[in-house]
Structure 1
Amino acid sequence: ASTWKLATAAAGMEAGLVKGDTRMPIPCTGGMFYAGRYARCWYAAGHGPLDLIGAIEKSCNVYFYQLGIRLGLQNLIEAGTRFGFNTRSGIDLPSERRGEFPTGIDWYTKRFGHKPYPSEVMSLSIGQGPNAQTVLRMTHFYSAIAGNGSAPEPYLVARPGAGQGPGAIKLNVNTEGLQAMWTGLGRVTDYFGPNNFGTAVQSGLERWKLYGKTGTAQNPQGGDHGWFSGFAGPPGARPEIAVAIIIEHGLHGSDVAPVAAKVANYYLSRKHNIPVDPSPLLINRWQDGRCPWSTSCIVTDSASAVSPVKPQFGPGGRHLNPVGGARPAVAAAPAAAPAAGR
């Protein structure tokens, strides 16, 4: 799901390829060609030129395609491995499932019987392809973003040495880079005016600040899965809770985000001894509970696909092969939903 795009952003920052204000050479017009393939953005009309902060806010596939290409598949795989995406987190649960993520270029040959396609890096850069992550793993990664670039090994039972195991995450991203990610994630839940709002604008909280990323995971067996990963805390203060939620079959990330917001509100209200507001979302303060502008505030957070051939167009510009991919996205096991889409 597009919740994984922050890993691509972190990898790009570690490599010195991007900062918060870095723009890519190709503006988003709804998709882009690369290596004989046409890769779509979820927003067919296109986002136009964006910097990294804007690309996080709008979840622009075309921006992250280009960042993935700049990184290269091997570097992106190595970064994902450092971030723990192909290992267990180390939590004190005997049945923890490990997510699926390539361990190297040769992994593709062993798994699929052929070398990765040149466009494979585009799929991986937006969380598609062979990339299936557990909710715990995504929560752990976002905890590192919230925790100034690091997060200890997760645990349930306090004991000597808890949190000090090899499952800790460390992002080699400087303060400026982390702030850029925070800004982009914060704008996901913000409203700036008509046609200028984040993909989870309906999830903004009145009392707390919610940072996060929506995502939609492709599911070949049925409806797509909706994702939201992020963190929250008092406005202007350090985040106090990280949260990741998946709702399976038929929902988009923008549908899931309000659930995460209510979870964060409940936890933070109880922690700070504040009565829990049963209607904590800012959307409930808008007249009649509707968006304060003419268009819908519900962003259809649909998954993207990389078509296997150069697209063909028929009479009137009709796209003859709009759907496809070098391979279908990896199916989700019950405890490990694939990161894909937006």
Structure 2
Amino acid sequence: MSAYDRDAERQRMLGRRTLVLGGMQAAAVSALVARLYYLQIVESDRYTMLAEDNRISLRLLAPPRGMITDRFGVPLAVNEQNFSVVIVAERAGDVQQILDEVGKLVPLTEGDERRIQRDIQRSRSFAQITLKENLTWDQMAAIEVNLPDLPGVSIDVGQVRAYPFGEAMSHVLGYVGAASEKDVEGSRDPLLTLPGFKVGKGGIERQYDQALRGVAGSRQLEVNAVGRVIRELSRDPGQPGREVTLTIDAKLQHYMHQRLSAEQSAAAVVMDVHTGGIHALCSSPSFDPNQFARGIGYDAYQALLNDERTPLINKAIAGQYPPGSTFKMLTALAALESGIVNGDHRVYCSGHMELGSHRFHCWRRGGHGSMDMVNALAQSCDVYFYDIAQRIGMDRIADMARRFGLGSRVGLELPGERPGLIPDPRWKRQTLKQPWHQGETLIASMGQGYVLTTPLQLAVMTARLASGRAVQPHVTKSVEDQFTETTEWPRIDVKPENLALVLKGMNAVSNTPSGTGYRGRITVPGMELAGKSGSAQVRRISMAERSSGVRRNEDLPWRERDHALFVAYAPAHAPRYACSVIVEHGGGGGAVAAPIARDILLECQMLDAARATVAQQPVSGSETGHEPALPDPDSGNTQEGAP
């Protein structure tokens, strides 16, 4: 090949290589252009959002918790300002010196200082660390005055749940506390992830926690690369919690709490016999829910746990007690409805009744003599009820008790309600694997043995007796604008004349001198009550003790004394309120529980009368936008005249 040909071949080879290299460069440039197009045009929105997320921090805001009010709009649970003192470590310089200075103005325990140092070590130097919460106004003012000498320290204002009525409302309202792991598990509410966010832990606060909680707000903060806040960009306050209105009458509740506080351990319920609304529900002793909302100390909590009178338990709905003689109305009604016994049925009470080899005693050692049903109720003759119970059997008695609300939960909107127990032969076979004995029917007929009820159930029973309707209790009047109260309740399937006879016996209990509740009567004309006393034994009385003389309750240790019970409705001629009272280990129902029920039912009617009087008078306060004040129930009441 000539030199010319070799040069031509070399030129062609170089040309092909140049072409390939140029193609590869063009392909690379094309890929780069395509990638740039994809990133800047197609994925523009996505990367803009990522950049913004890197610059903007979205933080949740807890909304104000909804208020809880009584039936007249009186606040029962509110939100108050919570002053806290906080510190930013990088601005403080010598943190320990600052803590010492703050400790001279606001007490800081060793535990507080350990927590503060731990939080400082775990957090960035520019983060706020809480030194002390729940400052008083004076403490907050002292910090503010000394801020020039406290670099890095400032006052932070938040909200804390407050309960103006304190112990009087604790078992109805419950309290709020920090969300537990159990609360957070399975919940999609982002509010639960907020540090220190509090949820309902009992009572209405727990029952309506979702409604009271509200919807989370948010705020957008501009932050730098290390998370330091530069400025706030926007704020959405969220949706405040809904207001819950209860059927509770705050003045009556406060009065009832004071009245029960004189007893070692007691519970009481007042219920509207027409609507079923609970106007007052108390358990004593109680506790201060404000302590829990602000953070109760270990020693204080242990003291509540170890108190033998169980202040943390709502005895009105969770205390289960033998109803004693307050159960006798149902035994009487079951007998009348059976057709086996009528109102003229008479029994001679000699002080005891023989059944086989066993003797069943009446509370009156010498007996009552010849008794009809009304007098047997009035004087609470045990032998009379032994007799009719033996005739009709336990199944009829149990059926009547369940019709009047005993033996199962009544469905009140408060957590922790207990069902009680109405036994019968079937229950004993299934539960204890034992046969039912006739003597157990006699014992159950007077509210002893296996029979257990709650004060709430006894109030429901009394309301149904007074109204003749299957009224259901409730404590919620409305949630925002959704009302729940009604007066439409079905009639209980009993003959009116039989019910009237039992109510006549209850009237005789309180308003005849021989009645066991006579000392607990109301003497104000038109406000009289009708009731039934009961004393429930908590120990067995041996034959030897009966022979030598039964020991009086006052001579027994507190735990061995009888429970004192009383149920009543008022006014006797036109029932409006039903009330039940139990005093644990209080002794005689007529002597101890009846006067309490009397005072409570009298207070109900006096408050109604006072409010009616105010409503009829010209309201001068309407011009200024203020309502006239109602009479103060704390001043007490007397029976020496009409209100």
For the pair 1:15 / 2:334, whether they are aligned, the reply is no
For the pair 1:246 / 2:582, whether they are aligned, the reply is yes
Alignment RMSD: 2.5
Q: Deviations over 1:135-177 (max 9, x none)?
A: 0101101101110x11321101125684679xx7854332222
Is contact 1:144–1:151 with CA below 8 Å preserved after alignment?
yes
Is contact 2:407–2:452 with CA below 8 Å preserved after alignment?
no
Of residues 26, 40, 46 in structure 1, which corresponds to 2:361?
Answer: 40
* Aligned match of 2:493: 172
CA distance in 1, matches of 2:399, 2:512: 36
* Aligned match of 2:435: 115
Is contact 1:92–1:155 with CA below 8 Å preserved after alignment?
yes
More helix by share: 2
1:226 CA displacement: 0.1
Is contact 1:153–1:164 with CA below 8 Å preserved after alignment?
no
CA distance in 1, matches of 2:499, 2:529: 16
User: What are the residue-to-residue correspondences of 1:178-189 with 2, within 5 Å?
Assistant: 178-189=499-510
Relative to structure 1, the CA distance from residue 5 to residue 161 in structure 2 (aligned partners, 3 Å threshold; closer, same or farther) is farther
Relative to structure 1, the CA distance from residue 6 to residue 155 in structure 2 (aligned partners, 3 Å threshold; closer, same or farther) is same
User: What are the residue-to-residue correspondences of 1:140-159 with 2, within 5 Å?
Assistant: 140-147=460-467, 149-159=468-478
1:79 CA displacement: 2.5
For the pair 1:229 / 2:567, whether they are aligned, the reply is yes
Is contact 1:146–1:231 with CA below 8 Å preserved after alignment?
yes
1:30 CA displacement: 0.2
**What 5-or-longer segments of structure 1 have no aligned partner?**
285-342
* Aligned match of 1:30: 351
Is contact 2:511–2:530 with CA below 8 Å preserved after alignment?
no
For the pair 1:71 / 2:392, whether they are aligned, the reply is yes
Structure 1 runs of 4+ aligned residues shifted over 6 Å read 274-277
* Aligned match of 1:211: 530
Is contact 1:203–1:281 with CA below 8 Å preserved after alignment?
no
* 2:510 counterpart SS class: coil
* 1:62 counterpart SS class: helix
Is contact 2:532–2:566 with CA below 8 Å preserved after alignment?
yes
1:202 CA displacement: 0.9
CA distance in 2, matches of 1:2, 1:247: 14
For the pair 1:5 / 2:328, whether they are aligned, the reply is yes
Name the aligned partner's letter for residue 242 of structure 1. A
Q: Deviations over 1:74-119 (max 9, x none)?
A: 22223323333221112222221111222x4132134434212221
User: What are the residue-to-residue correspondences of 1:278-297 with 2, within 5 Å?
Assistant: 278-281=636-639
Name the aligned partner's letter for residue 229 of structure 1. V
Q: Larger C-alpha radius of gyration, 1 or 2?
A: 2
How many residues are paired up? Answer: 271
**What 5-or-longer segments of structure 2 have no aligned partner?**
1-323, 540-558, 614-630
* Aligned match of 2:448: 128
Name the aligned partner's letter for residue 262 of structure 1. D
* Aligned match of 1:303: none
Is contact 1:35–1:119 with CA below 8 Å preserved after alignment?
no
Is contact 1:33–1:39 with CA below 8 Å preserved after alignment?
yes
Name the aligned partner's letter for residue 494 of structure 2. V
Of residues 597, 605, 611 in structure 2, which corresponds to 1:260?
Answer: 597
For the pair 1:270 / 2:589, whether they are aligned, the reply is no
Q: Deviations over 1:17-71 (max 9, x none)?
A: 33333223xx001011013311100011111111110110000111111111111
Is contact 2:405–2:460 with CA below 8 Å preserved after alignment?
no
1:278 CA displacement: 4.1
More strand by share: 2
Is contact 1:105–1:115 with CA below 8 Å preserved after alignment?
yes
CA distance in 2, matches of 1:98, 1:164: 24
Is contact 1:246–1:256 with CA below 8 Å preserved after alignment?
yes
Q: Deviations over 1:224-281 (max 9, x none)?
A: 1100011011x63x11110000001132101210110000000101112277794535
For the pair 1:201 / 2:538, whether they are aligned, the reply is no
Relative to structure 1, the CA distance from residue 13 to residue 50 in structure 2 (aligned partners, 3 Å threshold; closer, same or farther) is same
Relative to structure 1, the CA distance from residue 172 to residue 161 in structure 2 (aligned partners, 3 Å threshold; closer, same or farther) is farther
CA distance in 2, matches of 1:163, 1:12: 34
Name the aligned partner's letter for residue 579 of structure 2. V
Of residues 492, 508, 511 in structure 2, which corresponds to 1:190?
Answer: 511
* Aligned match of 2:380: 59
CA distance in 2, matches of 1:216, 1:108: 25
CA distance in 1, matches of 2:433, 2:564: 31
Higher relative contact order (CA 8 A, sep 6+): 1
1:201 CA displacement: 1.1
Is contact 1:225–1:249 with CA below 8 Å preserved after alignment?
yes
Is contact 2:470–2:492 with CA below 8 Å preserved after alignment?
no
Is contact 1:68–1:122 with CA below 8 Å preserved after alignment?
yes
Name the aligned partner's letter for residue 187 of structure 1. A
* Aligned match of 2:198: none
CA distance in 1, matches of 2:335, 2:490: 17
Is contact 1:204–1:281 with CA below 8 Å preserved after alignment?
no
* 2:334 counterpart SS class: helix
CA distance in 2, matches of 1:182, 1:127: 18
Name the aligned partner's letter for residue 83 of structure 1. F
CA distance in 1, matches of 2:457, 2:463: 10
* Aligned match of 2:276: none
Q: Deviations over 1:273-311 (max 9, x none)?
A: 2777945357x9xxxxxxxxxxxxxxxxxxxxxxxxxxx
Name the aligned partner's letter for residue 570 of structure 2. A
CA distance in 1, matches of 2:471, 2:512: 33
